[in-house]
């Protein structure tokens, strides 16, 4: 029986700073790297043969850290259709500041 594991990216600098990321290229912060390394350890005894990622750097780095230590021979497929929503003009803006301006 095949298993499917679904997880999003680890915490990013935008997540920490409450910034709308959308399709913006933002990387994992230190906490995010630790989160995804933990996922990798939890999956170390699972057979992983194929993995999907979006074309965003946070997705690519998440998968890299998850697979790095325990899953070397995995087919990785990059598909831009699975990235998160586009926030349009909100991309890069502070969620906190927007809440103050337009509660």
Catalytic annotation, residues: 9, 84
- Non-local CB neighbours of 71 within 8 Å, separated by 6+ positions: 40, 43, 48
Question: Whose structure tokens read 């586009």?
Answer: 86
Decide if 68 contacts 40 (C-beta within 8 A).
Answer: yes
Instruction: Report the SS3 class of residue 36.
Output: helix
- Non-local CB neighbours of 7 within 8 Å, separated by 6+ positions: 39, 62, 66
């Amino acid at each position: 029986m095949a298993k499917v594991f679904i997880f999003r990216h680890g915490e990013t600098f935008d997540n920490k700073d409450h910034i709308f990321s959308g399709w913006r290229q933002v990387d994992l912060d230190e906490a995010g790297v630790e989160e995804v390394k933990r996922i990798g350890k939890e999956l170390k005894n699972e057979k992983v043969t194929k993995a999907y990622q979006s074309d965003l750097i946070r997705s690519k780095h998440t998968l890299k850290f998850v697979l790095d230590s325990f899953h070397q021979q995995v087919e990785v497929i990059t598909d831009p259709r699975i990235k998160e929503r586009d926030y349009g003009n909100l991309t890069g803006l502070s969620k906190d500041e927007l809440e103050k301006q337009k509660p």
